[in-house]
Structure 1
Amino acid sequence: MVVGLTNLINGIRRNIDRRKAARAEKWIQLHQPANHEIETLVYAHRGSKCNRPENTLASFNEAIRIGTDGIELDVHLTADNQLVVIHDEKIDRTTNGKGLVQKLTLAQLKRYDAGSWFAPEFTGERIPTLFEVLSLLTSLDFTGILNIEVKTDKYQYPNIEKILSDMMTGTNWSFDYLYSSFNIDTLKNLSKLEPDTEMSFLTENSIKKIEIGLLEDFVISIHPRKTYAFKHPVLASRSSKPIRIWTVNSDKEIRLAFQENIAGIITDYPEKAIQIRNEIMNS
């Protein structure tokens, strides 16, 4: 096992000088139909982020409406230990308020508008709690996969793993779920609480991080940045662990991912990705 992983890592190192998508495009015949049944799943990044305000109930509702296979969202902890769904550590970018999530209570966060920054018709959207999102998915009979990214790469929220695990294991949800994080310790803590739940290690453009994810037994899958994955297609072709890449948005990138038949793509354009997949499979 270790020898195989070492060979894989060495193979990636030997390809370090490859250009990004341009060389990958030569390696994969981009405009040829896939010669296999495509098994790549489409994950809606922060919901349907292209046409709805990210990480809101509106974005998750739209993602389910279009039939996405999975939904990705981000979780932080408030000052009063409530799990809320927002990407940034601060609320400044996606609301009309300011401040750190960890310094504000849920009641304070709920005062701010989380939709009008995107478009006037979404005025009134609020930062949702994780439970509100889970309830929405349940009410809409979502049966796909929920990718819960735990945002502890900048701040280690006290006891967030236990609070999160208690919520997720307290109900038999209609959908499957996995945890992802850039923080390997967060995944290790969650794996101790839920040994049967999938842990996915998020990485950017670092071979050292990839190596950590490949070697840690509790890490079940790897979520690398798209630029790194396309630059090193050997990662997808030889890894024994599922690979899901982020954030795959252009037609070319989406087709490349389907051609390689990786486990999943995380995209801002889930409806487009599903249409492209259908087009390839029906050609």
Structure 2
Amino acid sequence: MRKENQKLLGKFKSDLQKVSCCLKGSDRNSVSAAYKLFIEYAFEMVCDRWLTLNVDEDIADGAIFIRKKNIVHNYEQYGCDFAFGDALLSYFDLVAASEPFEDIFTMLHEEFLLTGLKGEGLGQFFAAADISYLIAELILTDDSTAKHDFCDDCCGAGSLNLGMMKGRYRENPEAFKTMNIEVTDIDELACKSAFIQIVASMIAHKIPINQVRVFNSNVLTQWGKAGQLMVGLRSPDRSPVSSIKPVNLRAFEKVSALCKTSVKHTREAIAV
């Protein structure tokens, strides 16, 4: 990570610490709780932003957005709107300054949720970003179907699919308009993290992907069963340069308006 990006990462982590000050509990537990709540909040805001940028009910352009209605919203009860907004702005700044599809959350998951816990809970251990990128380079052979369709049945925070997407984008950015991404995890927080990372990069770097689907399920016991789709989108049928509505091309310049008073104000701020 570049020196400038290291500074932005430090700012983001500092803003997460401010969120934790709104919560009760030990320093370690409150930072962990703040990070989880931030993921919930960021998921909602990224969903709202993608809808604002891409879905026009008056135009039959193929854009689709589907989301389960019973997704957790614990962040709403803490009254940390200013702190969440500052952290979200810092995260967006980091995404915009980073290479497309840079993996940010995997290392934060390890730092805030998994380090020292030895895989407790769901027994999670996330692949490091460098390892994921190496695996992606091995996957992306000339005749690889992963160049057009990629599935990960235990996605974690999205490290492997992000590594593949980063490599593919370096190789051929135009290919993303026909790419389909499908990821699955048993952990709802991991599913949200993976979705945020993919879609935030799509928005920040103006990269349309044909389809992104996230399943919150156990692939060993629930594979193929109905009702497992957590969130999914299909980009508009437009050329890459015009796949985002023109009036919203500067999405991340408007992020500074996010969450300055309340969740209601935030949603008003990102509406066009």
**Shorter-normalised TM-score: what interval?**
under 0.3
Normalized per residue, which structure has more strand?
1
**TM-score (ref. length: structure 1):** 0.25
**Higher percent of residues as helix:** 2
TM-score, reference length from structure 2 = 0.26
